Amino acid sequence: MDFRKGTEADLDAVNSLYWEVTGWLQRTVNYPGWEQGAYPARRDAEAGIRSGTLYVAEMQGKTAGTMILDHTPEPAFADAKWQVPAPDAQVFILRTFAVHPAFQKAGLGRQMLACAEKLAQAQSVRAIRLDVSDKNLPAVRLYKACGYRYIGDADLGLGAYGLTNFLLYEKGL
């Protein structure tokens, strides 16, 4: 697997990955509550590329996964009892973590998280934090298996989309 910062040249492939992931979720079980064409969408990849926070994983010459790692917490994170005291600049927030259906259940998600942790350590980041829908059981299992600790619940204001409860996780580095 090749894990690297996304560039403008990746935009079409990342958008295609988003489209395929959301289509697959809608045909199977939509654990994260993502909507095709709404989230994640091309504009999310564009914003990640502009800000230098979008990362891609390639396997077999294809864009197999993607994530955004930034330093901007959700407002609901302010009340969480994080275990690692650190200013925002020393924390990665993991967002829009997606693995193409053809590469799921092959360990790619674990590899991508390990790469994010190495990147964080190289940049003196002290923790990775994330939110995940309480309905997204496969992601919750992955985060727990990779050493992320449950911190608490949060309402991110997405109730109109049927997403009323998010679990907060953190991994100290």
The total number of structural domains that make up the chain: 1
Read off the CATH number of the domain in which 105 is found.
3.40.630.30
Q: What is the pTM of this model?
A: 0.95
Give the structural domain span for 164. Answer: 2-172
Taking 50 as the pLDDT cut, the residues of the chain under it are none
Rounded Cα gap, residues 100 and 82, in angstroms? 31
* CA–CA dist 86, 165 (Å, integer): 25
Q: What's the pLDDT tens digit per position in 155-168?
A: 886 656 667 789 99
DSSP 50-106: HHT-EEEEEETTEEEEEEEEES---GGGGGS--SS---GGGEEEEEEEEE-GGGTTT
User: 């492939």: which residue's tokens?
Assistant: 13
The tokens describing 125, both together, are: 């980041």
pLDDT, one tens digit per residue, over 18-49 is: 999 999 999 999 999 999 999 999 999 999 99
